[in-house]
A and B are shown apart, each in its own frame.
Chain A
Amino acid sequence: MTAWRQLVEIARKDLRLEARSGEALLVTTPFGAVALLFVPLAVGTDTPLLRGIGPGLYWVVVLLFGLLVTLRTSAVDTPPQIALLRLCGVHSVVRLAGRAAASALLLLAFELLLVPVAVALYDPAPHGWPWLLVVLPLVAAGLGLLGTLAGALAQGLDGRTTLGPVLVLPLAVPLLLGATQAPAAAALGHAPWPWLLLMLTVDLIAALALLLGAPHLEEVA
């Protein structure tokens, strides 16, 4: 119960820090929108083409820029802060789980903010869109966990915002495939469950990795 309360408080603290700094939602989100805007300039403004590649582009931007959301500066504990948390009896798993929860919520907001941008720019076919209600949280949770893991692995290193994503990107591949294929499968009348199951599996693997890896990744000095 104490651990749960600590987790909630840490997540709340992270969200409050983001609300004050705005790095994820006021900086990274517009940057992602710019990426969506650039692609038609490069490949041409052919409406059927853009309609076809729109959903895929949206997910590529969400995955790559989403990792930047998880590696935002306010999601870094300085050594004195880690020492403080440790001396308050906060377990490393609780600390990172709280961070992952906050990051997942921010990622969900990030995804939702980019949806209208992608719709406006690419006008994708609306088939299978209700499945997004499941896909968006699954991607946000998986990416939040992976990004937290990346942040812990690259903590305090030069180039952590580049090194971090490189370390965990492969596990984002099943998320990318699931996110793009599930609504596509539904649109074709197939059951998208296998893809959702795949994404859930990745989420669980990431959670397990965080659970087992966190105690090894906490350094104070």
Chain B
Amino acid sequence: MAKNKTEQATKAAGASATATTSKDLNAKTKAIANKSFVSNQISLVTQLVNTYTTTTPQLLRLIDAYLAAVMVSGIIQFVYVVVVGTFPYNSFLSGFAASVGAFVLAANLRMQLNPKNDFYSLTPEGAFAEFVFCSLVFYGFVVNFLG
């Protein structure tokens, strides 16, 4: 509430006064802001990496590695189909769908195994069983469509 009030006040008072001097100020503040923006970003990323490596359980990190690998395989296939052409289209669809589906299923497993998420009464063993069952059904379809 307080913050809102002050914002309104500055808007009402300085609307005309700031307009004349804003050009110089803007240039200076931008340079400072840019510098601090880059360093800010760097510190943000390092902080993110630090937090990730220290607080994320190792199992989730392993799943993340799998997710990254699967995503790369999907991208490679997409580049391949653009370069080579769509001829065995069903094979492309099947291979690409395998990457996407594997990613989705592993992401779901990761969400359910993450101790910070509350999935009601679902146990980690239950989540894993779900993952395995869905994966088996999914790969059945994929291989069938692969041609």
Do chains A and B interact in one complex?
no
B→A interface (CB under 8 Å): none
A→B interface (CB under 8 Å): none
